[in-house]
Amino acid sequence: MGGADDDEPPSKRVRASYREPKGLSNGSFLKEPASCSLMARPLASQGDDEIIGSQGIKKVEFVRIIADALYSLGYSKTGASLEEESGITFHSPTVSTFIQQILDGNWDGSIASLHKIGIVDESIIKSASFIILQQKFFELLDHEKLMEALKTLRTEISPLSVNSNRVRELSFFILSPESRIIDGISGQQTVKPKARSELLEELQKMFPPTVMIPDGRLLQLVEQALDLQREGCLFHNSDSGETSLYTDHHCGRDQIPSHTVQILQEHQDEVWYLQFSQNGKYLASSSSDNSAIIWEVNLDGKVSLKHRLTGHQKPVSSISWSPDDSQILTCGVEEVVRRWDVSSGECLHVYEKGLLGLISCTWSPDGKCVFLGLTDKSIVIWDLDGKEIECLKGQKTIKTSDLQITSDGKLIITICKETTILLIDRESKSERCIEEEQMIVAFTLSRDNKYLLVSLVNEELHLWSIEGRIRVVAKFKGHKRSRFIVRACFGGLEQAFIASGSEDSQVYIWHRGSGELIETLEGHSGAVNCISWNPGNPHMLASASDDRSIRIWGVKQLSSKQKGKGKSTSNGIHYCNGGATN
């Protein structure tokens, strides 16, 4: 039986082509099977078990995904020629018949073919039948054939015993025709049958790939190969530049910011902490000179002093940017936390609590409140005006502590003991712990909230996965630490690198995926206390040192000859002194 608008028997249509080569969601097109004159002829020497290449690739699968790519690109004649010459059909005759029946609206025929195309899983057959018959139901409704639609619902859809809730919804469309109207003005229906090509695409996603090859499979395999090459590239640090399939991906060492491009010397004592803003347009630093400085990253990549923040009576140990980068928190050592306006440099509020000192600070993701760690080992949540909202009492923090909140606001992360990091679920109030064998110096949270990078006293960095089961996934070694707080950070393109300060006056950079130490940056004359990688520019890195300076690191500037050719030795955009040059 045909569809609701079939005016001629399906047998009179051209079996080899679709009526409408409608584009699919991924930009490809539905494939046209080989025409009758180019019908594939099976060759005795080309069986399904023939293997090509060194990885045991089946020739029949290889040829079929090439044919899929050709049809997707619109090269129907070439795809048909490939089928004929190889003797390997893109689809089996039964699958081809099924496809044409769907496009023709031959619902009874398609249901019959569905049981013959090689699907073993009965649940898939039932689900596919449901989708096909639902399409039939909607097409009947669309042509106001209510009794036929009702019959399809009662005798064909309901007996499948699939998705009973949806069956009730379908019956409601018959009982309440007005429910299919959006409004009385436009008279447009909310329930319309989807295009049959879209139905076919939906079915294709349900079927095993041995029955119907997933659309764009060859392109997907190529993209996976490129991704693996980039992940394995120790120096991949730019998403700009052309990608070529003719050669394997390779980036040069010059993609890593390893050259001092600027030295900032405005602090009067050791620089303890620094952090780029979320948008990468500002840098903030704090010092044992009791001050903090907001720096601006100019369009040419140069960093200039914007505001000097004074008012603390003790060294400023840490900084936290607001989610929108319009404000900043500064925390004095066991003193107070101050909130500043980035634009004006004005102090907007001072947070303090009796005789207790504050030791850490961070923002809620919505920027409406602040989380502060106290010397009594509690964490207090204040609104911006200083009104206490909540207090988490008990062993929630220690005197020297980092404090961070996941971007969804659900998880508070803090060091609660010398060897323990506490993860507090704000909704369930449940707690999980990361237990280290060595004393914890500091930690930082990855941008995707999935990982914690923990610095330890034994000169190791541990990368912990905190999504699902908590576990160590990588360790990094090489830097020096014996007395001071030395901090590390994620950074680079997609945070593919780990960088750390060191007491030997150097900056250490590892490739995150392989754990390999790829750069050691020299220049400072004192311990390097903190590192921050610009989130807006993967080729800009900042380091803070006991030598009272901040160093801005960038990639090596292109020679004029290279600029004239408009080429890069590493297939990417170069940032010179923080500025971009193609």
- For 231-285, what is each residue's pLDDT tens digit? 888 999 987 767 788 888 888 899 999 999 999 999 999 999 999 999 999 999 9
Instruction: Reply yes or no on whether the pLDDT at 24 is more than 90.
Output: no
- Beta-bridged to residue 351, according to DSSP, are 337
pLDDT of res. 379 = 92
* Lowest-pLDDT choice from 34-48, 391-405, 411-425, 511-525: 34-48
pLDDT at 297: 97
Give CA 126 to chain center in angstroms.
35
| Predicted pLDDT of residue 400 | 59
Lowest mean pLDDT among 142-146, 148-152, 219-223, 487-491: 142-146
Mean pLDDT confidence for 340-344: 98
Cβ atoms of residues 552 and 544 within 8 Å: no
Residue-level pLDDT at 26: 37
Mean local confidence (pLDDT), 494-519: 96
How high is the pLDDT of residue 330? 97
Q: What is the mean pLDDT of residues 402-423?
A: 93
Q: Which residue has the higher pLDDT, 218 or 569?
A: 218
Strand, coil or helix: 389 = strand
Pairwise CA distance, residues 500 & 531, whole Å: 6
- For residue 275, what are its two tokens? 């952090």
Which DSSP helix (H) or strand (E) runs through 506?
Answer: none
Residue type, position 364, single letter: S
Whether 514 and 529 have beta carbons less than 8 Å apart is answered as: no
pLDDT of res. 181: 46
Closest by CA position to 60, among listed 73, 46, 43: 46
Q: How many CB atoms lie within 10 A of CB 169?
A: 12
Strand order from edge to edge, sheet including 550-554 = 259-264, 550-554, 541-545, 528-533
Which candidate, 419, 424, 417, places its Cα nearest to that of 371? 424
What per-residue confidence (pLDDT) applies to 399? 63
- Looking at residue 27, its pLDDT comes to 37
**Per-residue confidence (pLDDT) for residue 581, from 0 to 100:** 40
Write down how long the chain is: 582
pLDDT at residue 460 is higher than 90: yes
Kindly report the average pLDDT of the chain as a whole number. Answer: 85
Q: Which two tokens stand for residue 147?
A: 């009794």
Contacts of 390 (CB under 8 A, 6+ apart): 380, 381
Q: Is the pLDDT of residue 30 over 50?
A: no
* Rounded mean pLDDT, 530-555: 97
Q: How far apart are CA 122 and CA 532, in angstroms?
A: 55
Residue 69: which pLDDT band, with cuts at 50, 70 and 90?
Answer: very high
Over the stretch 408-418, which tens digit does the pLDDT of each residue have? 999 999 998 89
C-alpha–C-alpha distance, residues 480 and 322, integer Å: 32
Residue 304 CA to its chain's centroid (Å): 32
Comparing C-alpha atoms, which of 257, 261, 241, 258 is closest to residue 249? 241
Q: Which two tokens stand for residue 395?
A: 């062993």
Whether the per-residue pLDDT at 20 is higher than 70: the answer is no
Residue 67 is predicted with a pLDDT of 93
* pLDDT > 90? residue 323: yes
The answer on pLDDT for 317 being more than 80 is: yes
pLDDT band at 174 (very low <50, low <70, confident <90, very high): confident
Query: What are the C-alpha distances in Å from 114 to residues 140, 160, 195?
Result: 21, 14, 19
Positions of E strands within 288-410: 292-297, 303-309, 316-321, 327-332, 337-341, 347-351, 358-363, 369-374, 379-383, 388-392, 403-405
Checking if the pLDDT of 187 tops 50, the result is no
Identify the pLDDT of residue 47: 54
- To 10 degrees, what angle do helices 196-206 and 122-142 make? 170
| Contacts of 380 by beta carbon, 8 Å cutoff, 6+ apart | 353, 371, 372, 374, 388, 390, 391, 392
> Contact at 8 Å (CB) between 284 and 319?
yes
pLDDT at 250: 85
Q: How far apart are the first and last CA of the chain?
A: 62
Q: Is 327 a residue whose pLDDT tops 70?
A: yes
pLDDT score for 92: 87
pLDDT of residue 83 exceeding 70? yes
pLDDT of residue 284: 98
Residue range 88-105: average pLDDT?
92
Q: What does the CA dihedral 232, 234, 238, 244 come to, rounded to 10 degrees?
A: -50
Give residue 23's pLDDT band: very low, low, confident or very high (50, 70, 90).
very low
Give the pLDDT confidence score for residue 191 in this predicted structure: 62
> In this prediction, what percent of the chain has a pLDDT beyond 70?
83
Residue 313 has pLDDT above 90, yes or no: yes
Tokens 């005789």 label which residue?
355
Considering only CA atoms, give the Rg of the chain.
Answer: 32
Percent of the chain with pLDDT over 90: 65
User: What predicted TM-score, i.e. pTM, was given to this entire model?
Assistant: 0.74
Q: Give yes or no for a contact between 96 and 33, defined as CB atoms under 8 angstroms apart.
A: yes
pLDDT at 214 over 50: yes
**DSSP label of 154:** I
